[in-house]
Amino acid sequence: MISIIFVTLTILVIVLVYIYLKQCYVPRRDDLPGVQPHIFFGNLLNSGILKQESTFNQVLIDYQRRFGDKFQYWFGSHRCLVFCRVEHAQAIFSDRHTFEQSPLFLPNFDLFCPNGIAMLTGAKWKRHIRVLLPMLKRAKIVGHLAMITQCTDRFIDRYLHAGQIHRNLYAACQSLTMNVIGLIGFDCDFDTHVDSPIKKAFLDFIFHSTLLMMTPWTPRWLGKIYLRFNRKYQRAYQLVHKLAEKLVKQEQNKQSEIEDERPKTLIASLVSSLNEEANDENISSGLNHVEIFDEVVMMILAGYDTTSTTLAWFIFFASKNPRVQQRMKDELREHNLMMTDDPNYLPSLTPNNLASLTYCEYVTKEVLRLAPTASFTTRIATRDTILDDVKINRGQTIFIALHNINTDARYWHHADPKEFVPERYLAEDQNHHPLAMITFGGGHRACIGQELAWFELKAAIVRLMQRGITFEDTPENTGGYEELITCFPKSLAVRVRFEKS
């Protein structure tokens, strides 16, 4: 009898939940256009995201073509409003009191890194940004140029072999950028190889975080159980945790030996802010030990994954455009920076001569514009408002379609905006709208590492060209998209040639 009652109640609950969810998905008169969502999955299933048949940048561009500059996208059970015009981005980014960072920016990522800067809002975000931002400004970064070129030289000598077709350069780019962030941010040479245990640990970290991000309907308690009993994730977590503890301990030992020295690296700033009594009522009170650990993990993840993706896209675009590679090398020769016949001499790169390489700057800019590293950024409405005649309720999630804007022909007039053409910045696109290229987002929640990403990417690209490297296209080099946290080239296969001066 009891079992019959239990089964009956269970069925009743399931039916009621189904009816409730069905009602949630019923279209309303004031809804923006979009595709009818699937219960539980929203549009993640019928848009091909969950099946890995498509990526967010492809889906958002397709939806804009079908529905216009304003439409809705159901991220699981979350009805998100998507805006695709520069004017939309400007209104959202400029109103920090109405639009704040949304938890859907990285869904469920707080299960992995709850105190990372990307997860925070309000006073806690201000407390963390006060510690992190000074070390990520350009004035601090340019002094690390020698470290970036050193890591790029190691990348060239270790992974690039003349005449061979390279099919695993994305993984090699990850090793390069992880080594850079180790030296610049943490004063530690990670010396990571393609198969290094610590690199594999971070890749496992990304895999499991992506898995939970793509299932936003999963109850949090179930996500915690999954992570708690997943051996692969637990191994990765232990390795990452040990690395963070090691970095903090090493810096504490340095600071105990040298007192009253101003922080010169990110880890030095983090450790000098250590205060177990830190609180949000005093934004200058520093960070506690747990918060520092999460910021170490967040900075390594953000510092290597996004830049390595963009560098891989540069290799792809360069292989398809040999004239661009040649013009970069011609510019280096004009400034007497190209390698010579003497194998023991290579002109040094300095912040000044790097800044003088304008065409190389345009190539870097074009890669950042065209590479769909981040397809969109998110905001959540903190109060009721109206944007372009669209009523937005408090708590509503907003998507700003970054890649759509970056490739919109209404804002880019020299050549097809979907084509890789660095010369556009020498022509009518020289004075493009500042928000027509928003790879790093905008407003007060723009990416805090954008100065580092710009400088590191340009320095690495210039060093590759300076060393006389040419990336050549192959039949296997078909590109396409593969997406985890970032969107990277699916099929990257190039032949490498070394030029003599």
pLDDT at position 26: 59
Residues annotated in a binding site for heme: 447
Strands 397-400 and 78-83: parallel
| Cα 363 from Cα 355, distance rounded (Å) | 13
On the question of pLDDT at 395 being above 60, the answer is: yes
On the question of pLDDT at 396 being above 60, the answer is: yes
- Answer positive or negative: Cα dihedral of 16, 19, 25, 31: negative
Residues annotated in a binding site: 447
**Helical H runs in 229-375?**
231-257, 266-272, 289-320, 322-334, 351-355, 358-370
Q: How far is CA 489 from its chain centroid? A: 14
Average pLDDT over residues 109-137: 93
pLDDT at position 372: 81
Identify the band that residue 177 occupies on the pLDDT scale cut at 50, 70 and 90.
Answer: very high
Question: Is this model's pTM higher than 0.85 or not?
Answer: yes
pLDDT at position 389: 94
pLDDT (tens digit per residue) in 334-350: 999 998 766 667 888 99
Q: Which CATH number fits domain 33-498: 1.20.1600.10, 1.10.630.10, 3.20.19.10, 1.10.3210.10?
A: 1.10.630.10
Q: How far is CA 337 from its chain centroid? A: 31
Strand order across the beta sheet in which 78-83 lies? 70-75, 78-83, 397-400, 377-381, 99-101
pLDDT (tens digit per residue) in 460-499: 999 999 999 999 999 999 999 999 888 999 999 999 999 8
